[in-house]
Structure 1
Amino acid sequence: MVFTEFFQQFPVKVLTVALLIILIVYFIRKFIKLFFDKTSFLDEKREETLMHFSNQVTRVVGLAFFFIYVLSHFFDFGKILTSSVVLASALAIILQHIIRDYIMGLTYLFERQIHHGDYVILNGNRQGKIEEITMRYLKIRQYDGYLYTVSYSNITELQNGTRGRRRVNESLILNYRQNPDDAFKVMEQVAQTCNEKYGQYLLKDVNGIPIESFQFNQITELNVDFKGHQYSLSGLVKEADFVEAGQKVRYELAMAAYKNDLMMAESFETSH
């Protein structure tokens, strides 16, 4: 009798339900992991992404059930759900961005546009490795070490570089007084040097021929930030070599600019 009364106390019931939900979430996650370990019809990256996403879903659903259980002791949810159509509509309008995030997140996931660990460029100005995929947002680790978080509804453009290939795209911004003909000769020489020294990084076809060698793309943008013109060089490399290849190309560009006395662009604040 005392034992029964003990479990009828509200704090004890809440703690019991919380422990039960934790156990259920744990076993669901273990079952999903075991399922992927025993099957092989999905590739490893796809399995890792689904595992990561399922962990997020089970956590959110578990918390939702817990809060509903606790609040049900203070509110009559049956009456609220049957008599508050207007309230539900108002909440849908207020939470439309959150709902949109969830829908777009599911779309990105099930259309296989992103995987955990992919290298992506978001909205043209943020790039890095996907470190976390949640139900509402992405977290990417940028090359400068910062962790960037963006909700799905704020993603207007997504470029995924992880499909076994990446395009190195490096550039010099030269002063507008720099003679373009001289700059062209230097950039073409840098492209040739990169092909000779770093050809092992290039992505090749079945015959061992580079799909896209390092090449000079001429002037890709004029008057960048009112400082100068942009001269770009690019090449298609293997995903695993992307970071190192980019470092090598940047070094060759810096060395070429130094040796050939190219006029680098300067801001008005630093010009003399």
Structure 2
Amino acid sequence: MFFLELFQQLPVKILTVALLIIITVYLIRKSIKLFFDKTSFLDEKREETLMHFTNQVTKVLGLVIFFIYVLSHFFKLEKLVTGSVVVAGALALIFQHIIRDYIMGLTYLFERQIHHGDYVIINGNRQGKIEEISMRHLKIRQYDGYLYTISYSSIMELQNGNRGRRRVNENLVLNYRQNPDDAFKVMEEVAQTCNEKYGEYLLKDEHGIPLESFKFNQITELNVDFRGHRYSLSGLVKEGDFVEASKKVRYELAMAAYKNDLMMAESLNTSH
């Protein structure tokens, strides 16, 4: 009788339901993980992406069910549901950006545009490795170590490295007073140096021939921010070597600029 009366108390009921929800969420996640471990329908990255998304979904559903249960003890559920239709309409207008995040998140996931661990460039100025895929946003670890979070509705452009391959694309922005002929000669030498020293990073075909060697792409943009012109160098490398290859190419560009006294573009705010 004591335990029966104890379980009739509201705080105990709420704690019991909360515990049951936590256990249920854990079992669902564990079951899905075991399913992926025992099967090979999907590749590893796809499985990892779905697991991250499942964790987010089960967390949200668990919280929703818990709050509905708690509210049902203070309000009549029938009236709550009826009134919630009107409330839902109002909330949809207020939280339209959040709703759009969820819809776009589902689109990115089910169209397989992104996977956990992919290297991406977002809106042309943020790049790094995807560390978390939630229902509303992405988190990417940038090369400077910072963790960048962006909502799906804020993504105007997303570039994803092809599976197994990435294109290194590094550049120098040189002063507009720099002689292009001299710059061209230096950049061609850098491309040749990179092919000789870092050829192992290049993606190769079945005959061991690079699909795209390091090459100088000449001037890819004029008058960048009214400071100078952009001279670009690129090469197709293995995805796993992308970060290291980029570092090496940047080093060679910096060293070549130093040794050949190339005139780097300066900020408009530079004072002399």
Into which bin does the TM-score normalised by the smaller protein fall?
over 0.9
Q: TM-score, with normalisation over the residues of structure 1? A: 0.97
RMSD: 1.2
Render the CA deviation track for 1:75-112: whole Å, top value 9, x for unaligned.
22311322554333212211221111111111111111
Q: Partner of 1:208: helix, strand, or coil?
A: coil
After TM superposition, give the deviation of residue 266 of structure 1 in Å. Answer: 1.2
Amino acid at match of 1:150: I
How far, CA to CA, are the matches of 2:96 and 2:268 in structure 1? 45
Q: Which residue of 2 aligns with 1:111?
A: 111
Residues 119 and 162 in structure 1, CA contact (< 8 A), matched pair in contact too: no
Q: Provide the rounded CA distance (Å) in 1 between the counterparts of 2:133 and 2:220.
A: 34
Aligned-residue offset at 1:38: 0.8
Rate the CA distance shift 1:95–1:233 in 2: closer, same or farther, 3 A: same
Q: Which amino acid aligns with 2:138?
A: L
Per-residue CA distance 1:185-218 (angstroms, 9 max, x = gap):
1111111111111111111111211111111111
Alignment match, 2:177: 177
Q: Residue 92 of structure 2 aligns with which residue?
A: 92
Whole-angstrom CA distance in 1 between matches of 2:133 and 2:183: 43
Q: How does 1:134-213 map to 2 (within 5 A)?
A: 134-213=134-213
Output the CA distance in 2 between the equivalents of 1:241 and 1:83.
56
Q: Is residue 118–residue 162 contact of structure 1 (8 Å, CA) maintained in 2?
A: no
Identity in percent: 83
Look up the SS of the partner of 1:80 in the other structure.
Answer: helix
Say if 1:203 and 1:237, in contact at 8 Å, map to a contact too.
Answer: yes
Runs (4 or more) in structure 1 with deviation over 2 Å come to: 80-88, 268-272
CA distance in 2 between counterparts of 1:68 and 1:87 reads 15
For residues 55 and 162 of structure 1, the distance between their equivalents in structure 2, rounded to whole angstroms, comes to 26
CA distance in 1, matches of 2:94, 2:81: 18
1:219 aligned residue: 219
Q: In 2, are the aligned partners of 1:223 and 1:229 still within 8 Å (CA)? A: yes
Q: What is the aligned partner in structure 2 of residue 256 from structure 1?
A: 256
SS of the residue corresponding to residue 90 of structure 1 reads helix
Matches of 1:84 and 1:211 in 2, distance apart? 58
Equivalent-residue separation in structure 2 for 1:179 and 1:59 (angstroms)? 60
Report the 3-state secondary structure (helix = DSSP H, G, I; strand = E; otherwise coil) of the residue aligned with 1:166. Answer: strand
Cα shift at 1:181: 0.9
Unaligned 5+ runs, structure 2: none
The aligned residue for residue 31 of structure 2 is 31
1: CA distance, partners of 2:150 / 2:93:
21
Task: Give the conservation status (yes or no) of the 8 Å contact 1:177–1:263.
Answer: yes
- For residues 160 and 62 of structure 1, do their structure 2 counterparts lie closer, same or farther at Cα, with a shift above 3 Å needed? same
Cα distance in 2 between the residues matched to 1:99 and 1:25: 23
Secondary structure in 1 aligned to 2:205?
Answer: coil
- Tell me the TM-score normalised to structure 2 length: 0.97
Question: 1:116 is paired with a residue of what secondary structure?
Answer: coil
CA distance in 2, matches of 1:64, 1:178: 62
Of 6-15 and 191-200, more deviation after overlay is shown by 191-200
Shift of 1:271: 4.7
Question: Aligned partners of 1:200 and 1:85: how far apart in 2?
Answer: 61
2:222 is paired with a residue whose SS is: strand
Q: Is the 8 A contact 1:190 1:252 kept in 2?
A: yes
Cα distance, 1:169–1:271 mapped onto 2, change above 3 Å: farther
The one-letter code of the counterpart of 1:170 is E
Q: Determine the C-alpha separation between the residues in 2 that align with 1:261 and 1:34.
A: 60
Mapped to 1, the partners of 2:132 and 2:112 lie a distance apart of 15
Q: Does the 8 A contact of 1:120 with 1:162 survive in 2?
A: no
Distance 1:212 1:57 in 2: 42
Q: 2: distance between equivalents of 1:102 and 1:83?
A: 24
Q: CA shift at 1:162, angstroms?
A: 4.8
Alignment pair present for 1:66 and 2:57: no
